[in-house]
A and B are shown apart, each in its own frame.
Chain A
């Protein structure tokens, strides 16, 4: 029985990782949008973003560990760490490894953000927009439960959540608090030059 237990743990942790990672991505976008209200200060968005990101990594570790340790799959550590080296579903499993390693890079650089400087950290943080869809594809492509109704609902909800967040980010325009001040200064300067 422990064999099936490990296999269930792998699948469960994979689904939880998808949900958590989606929440982290949405919270990250909300940070950029400077969302706040009297009951939701901005430090809550960033705090949740960071803590849920660390929790995502815990479930991702569980997902990978249980898959590798499972004697039935006998995947081996190489398959878990080197993308596209697995005998089993080489492409789809490789996407998962790729997504995991991108996320690891994103989290590690975030933890040492002070040493890296803001620009380098931000450049690496943009890789999230690669890591998340690659992770989703891994789930759809190799997931045992992909076509069960509940997993379809979870995947669809996650894609919708990130889709909406990205759409809002792209259409919300500038978040520069001095935008109006800068614009009026600009028009005042232009008026003087015309005269």
Chain B
């Protein structure tokens, strides 16, 4: 699994970065920059919470593509 931000929906609320600072940091305008790597298992619950708590539903968990 990995995190994907929808840049159209994202409003720069910054909740996700507060909930998951390990993988998400904010740029100068408060918009998230997400680590594109597959999620380590121990961060999965935090990632789920970041997805659920986004006020504009702009962040989602996607299944990682299988690397060739």
A residues within 8 Å of B by Cβ? 31, 34, 36, 41-43, 46-47, 113-114, 117-118, 177-178, 181
Contact of B53 among A34, A43, A178 (CB under 8 A): A43
In the complex the two chains form, is B15's CB within 8 Å of A177's CB? Answer: no
Q: Mark B53-67, 1 if CB is under 8 A from A, else 0.
A: 101110000000000
**What is the total of A-B residue contacts with beta carbons within 8 Å?**
31
Where chain A touches its partner, the secondary structure class is helix
Say which residue of B12, B55, B57 sits within 8 Å of A177 (CB atoms): B12
Hey, which chain A residues are within 8 Å of B31, CB to CB?
177
- Interchain CA distance A32-B27 in the complex, whole Å: 20
Q: Knowing that A114-B52, A114-B57 touch, tell me 16 more A-B residue pairs with CB under 8 angstroms.
A: A31-B55, A34-B14, A41-B18, A42-B13, A42-B15, A43-B18, A46-B53, A113-B57, A118-B9, A118-B56, A118-B57, A177-B12, A177-B29, A177-B31, A178-B29, A181-B29
B54 to chain A, nearest CB (A): 9
